[in-house]
Amino acid sequence: MNEQDSCSEVNATQLLNQLERILESDPLIDEVGFIHPSQFVTLNEETGHSEPSSNSSVLQSADDVSKSRGSDVDASYQVTKMLWSKDHKLGISTHVLLPLYKAAKHAFMDAIRRYKMLNGPYETMIESSPCTLSSCHNSVESEVMKHSRALLLLSSDFGTAWHSRKKIMSQMRPLSFFMDELHLSALVLSYSPKCENAWSHRRWVIKSIAGKCSTLEEIVGKESELVEKITETSKMNYRAWNHRTWLVSYMSTEQVLHELTKSRNWAGLHVADSSCFHYRRRLMLRILEDSSHKEENGTIRYNFEIHQLWKEELNWDEILIKRYIGREALWLHRRFLSLILIKRLSTDQTGTTMNNDLGMFLDNELHLLGSCSIIPDSNFEDYQAQALYSTIYMLWLVKQIPELQGLEVQKKLRPDKVKVQLNEACPDRSFLWDYLVGFMEASDPCARES
Q: Do 4 and 35 fall into the same domain? A: yes
Q: pLDDT digit string (tens) for 110-142?
A: 999 999 988 875 444 445 445 566 778 788 999
pTM (2 d.p.) = 0.81
Question: Are 22 and 151 found together in one domain?
Answer: yes
Phi, psi of 338 (to 5 degrees): -65, -40
Residue ending a domain, among 286, 301, 316, is: 301
Range of the domain at 12: 1-164
Q: Cα separation of 203 and 166, whole Å?
A: 12
pLDDT in the model for residue 450: 41
CB 444 within 8 A of CB 407: yes
Residues 288 and 410 in one domain: no
State whether 262 and 331 are in the same domain: no
- Kindly state whether residue 441 falls inside one of the protein's structural domains: yes
Residue 176 lies in a domain: no
Between 36-45, 76-85, 94-103, the lowest mean confidence (pLDDT) is in: 76-85
Residues 6+ apart with CB under 8 A from 80: 40, 44, 52, 53, 55, 58, 59
In a shared domain, residues 332 and 291: no
209 inside domain: no
- Can you state the angle between helices 274-293 and 253-269, rounded to 10 degrees? 160
Amino acid 7: pLDDT: 44
pLDDT digits (tens, 9 = 90+) for 195-217: 999 999 999 999 999 988 889 99
pLDDT tens-digit map of 398-410: 777 765 554 455 5
In this structure, the answer to whether residues 291 and 312 fall within a common structural domain is no
Q: What is the mean pLDDT of residues 319-324?
A: 95
Domain membership flag for residue 210: no
Strands laid side by side in the 83-86 sheet: 31-35, 89-93, 83-86
Domain count, the chain: 3
295 and 307 in a common domain:
no
Q: Which of 280, 301, 322 is the last residue of a domain?
A: 301
Q: How many CA atoms lie within 13 A of 409 on its CB side?
A: 28
Residues 343 and 353 in one domain: yes
Residue 264 lies in a domain: yes
Residues 257 and 322 in one domain: no
Domain assignment of residue 19, yes or no: yes
**In this structure, are 321 and 444 located in the same domain?**
yes
Q: Are residues 311 and 297 in the same domain?
A: no
Lowest mean pLDDT among 192-196, 216-220, 441-445: 441-445
Which of 301, 320, 344 is the last residue before a domain boundary? 301
**Antiparallel, parallel or unpaired: β 83-86 and 89-93:** antiparallel
In terms of domains, do 50 and 131 share one? Answer: yes
